[in-house]
Amino acid sequence: MLGVFRYKDRLGDRLVLILRGYPCSWGKCTFCPFALEQSTNISRIMDDNRRIISQALEILGRESIRRVAVFNGGSFHELPYDTVEALRPIAMGRMFEVEERSEFVTLAGLEALVYYYRPEKLIVRVGFETADERIREEVLRKGMPDKEMYRLSRLRLEARERGLPVEIWTYLLFGMEGIPDESVAESLKKFRELFDGVIAVRYKKYLPHHPRPKPVPEWLAQLLEEEADLVDWGGDQWVIGQRKGEEQ
Ligand code: SF4
């Protein structure tokens, strides 16, 4: 659901902006619902995003919120410049989170974002989803092989050696047929070694051709709650395909 969302959770008191983006340049992941909110109409993208960003600025103008995340159902680097520019006062001096596919994450790109936005910290979330390459590539069709996972793990250290206030976090997908519960537990352990943060996301089926969801055993729910930085069990922002305030 597009809009501005306020959260007070383990990541702190924060705002999440769900913006409209262009279609993801990869667009092949088997479970992905984000095409429902993407557009190829530049006026529509810019207008919707300006509206959402001005709502966020209004909130940030009257409340002290130090952490803001911006998601566009794809990669931040695929947003139009109009949106990128409008986000400057939101990112400056705050913890600023964006999402990227791994191929958009480079040292020069991180440097450019830090230079442009001057955030207190830049957190880049990347959807590796599982540390098992076979599941990632054959079941999920992510197009992000293990070598990308290790490249980004090293890159975050190189960025910090250069004094950049950058962290790289990953998503961990669970509750979907084709992803064994034991492999979720193993991925969590591996991701904790490789990245600065892990956000576990419960799978939700949106379209008929998407994989089926499955129940989450108690032991796994407890492990995720204890060891992931955040567990996303699904909230308002995941009613994908609607604007905030629209009827279902
Ligand atoms: S990379 Fe993300 S937005 Fe693109 S197809 Fe995969 S899940 Fe969807």
User: Using CA positions, which residue lies closest to atom 5 of ligand 1?
Assistant: 27
The CA angle 106-107-112, to the nearest 5 degrees, is: 95
CA of 161 to the centre of ligand 1 (A): 30
| pLDDT, tens digit only, all 248 positions of the chain | 899 999 999 999 999 999 999 999 999 999 998 888 899 999 999 999 999 999 999 999 999 999 999 999 999 999 999 999 999 999 999 999 999 999 999 999 999 999 999 999 999 999 999 999 999 999 999 999 999 999 999 999 999 999 999 999 999 999 999 999 999 999 999 999 999 999 999 999 999 999 999 999 999 999 999 999 999 998 655 666 655 554 33
| Ligand 1: nearest atom to the Cα of 27 | 5
Which contacts of 75-79 are long-range, i.e. CB under 8 A and separated by 24 or more positions?
Answer: 75/24, 75/25, 75/99, 75/100, 75/101, 75/104, 76/100, 76/104, 77/104, 77/109, 78/21, 78/22, 78/24, 78/25, 78/104, 79/19, 79/21, 79/22, 79/49
Say which residues have a Cβ less than 8 Å from residue 212's Cβ, sequence separation at least 6.
176, 177, 205
What does the DSSP 8-state code read for residue 239?
A: S
For ligand 1, residues with CB inside 6 Å are: 24, 26-29, 32, 34, 73-74, 101, 127
User: Using CA positions, which residue lies closest to atom 2 of ligand 1?
Assistant: 74
CA of 64 to the centre of ligand 1 (A): 32
pTM of the entire structure? 0.94
